[in-house]
C-alpha cells in the first residue's frame, strides 16, 4: 500500500491518484500560492491585498466588502480595513451595486489592472512560449483539460463543508 509522504498513512480511500498529469497539476497548484506571493511583492502590496484583487477581477458577480471578506476568510472589520487600504492605494473603487443600490460593489480600477498585467507579464510571456511549442491540437486538448480540471476544482470547493472539520487528535489515548 502506498503511503502519504507527509504522514506515512494511506488516505481513507487509498493513495491519491498518481498519474503524471495529476502529479504535474498538484505541482502547479503548489506553485500557485508562491505565484500570488511573488505578484504581491512585485506590486508592493500584501498577499491578502493581492488575493482580494484577484477575487474582485475574477468574480462573475459584483462583490461587496462582506462577500470579499467571506471569500478571503476574514472578519467584517478586517475586510473593511482591507477595502479602505485598497481604495487609498488606488487599486479599488467603491460603487453602488448594479442591482441593489443599498449595497456597495467593489471594482478594481483600470490603473490596478494595468499594474497587475505588467507585473504578470514575465509569467504570461513564459506561458505563451510554452503554448507556442504545442501543436494546435495539443493546445486545444490542453485548454479543454484545464477547463475540465477547473470545473472539478469548482465542484470540490462548492461541496466543501461551511465549517472546518474537527481535527483528529492522536497520541497515547489510542485515537
Question: If you search the block for the grid coordinates 511573488, which residue do you land on?
Answer: 38
22 compared with 5, residue with greater pLDDT:
22
- Helical segments of 44-166, H only: 47-58, 65-72, 76-88, 110-132, 136-158
pLDDT at 168: 61
pLDDT tens for each residue of 95-134? 988 888 888 899 999 999 999 999 999 999 999 999 999 9
Cα separation, 126 vs 169, whole angstroms: 44
pLDDT tens for each residue of 34-79? 999 999 999 999 999 999 999 999 888 889 999 999 999 999 899 9
Amino acid at each position: 500500500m502506498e503511503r502519504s509522504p507527509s504522514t506515512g498513512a494511506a488516505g481513507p480511500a487509498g493513495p491519491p491518484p498518481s498519474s503524471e498529469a495529476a502529479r504535474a497539476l498538484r505541482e502547479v497548484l503548489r506553485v500557485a500560492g508562491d505565484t500570488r506571493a511573488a505578484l504581491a511583492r512585485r506590486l508592493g502590496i500584501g498577499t491578502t491585498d493581492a488575493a482580494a484583487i484577484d477575487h474582485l477581477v475574477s468574480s462573475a458577480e459584483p462583490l461587496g466588502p462582506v462577500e470579499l471578506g467571506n471569500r478571503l476568510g476574514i472578519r467584517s472589520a478586517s475586510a473593511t480595513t482591507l477595502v479602505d487600504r485598497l481604495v487609498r492605494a488606488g487599486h479599488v473603487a467603491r460603487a453602488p451595486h448594479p442591482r441593489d443600490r443599498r449595497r456597495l460593489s467593489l471594482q478594481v480600477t483600470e490603473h490596478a489592472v494595468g499594474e497587475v498585467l505588467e507585473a504578470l507579464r514575465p509569467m504570461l510571456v513564459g506561458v505563451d512560449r510554452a503554448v507556442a511549442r504545442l501543436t494546435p491540437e495539443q493546445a486545444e486538448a490542453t485548454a479543454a483539460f484545464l477547463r475540465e480540471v477547473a470545473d472539478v476544482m469548482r465542484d470540490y470547493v462548492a461541496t466543501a463543508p461551511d465549517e472546518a472539520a474537527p481535527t483528529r487528535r492522536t497520541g497515547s489515548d489510542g485515537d
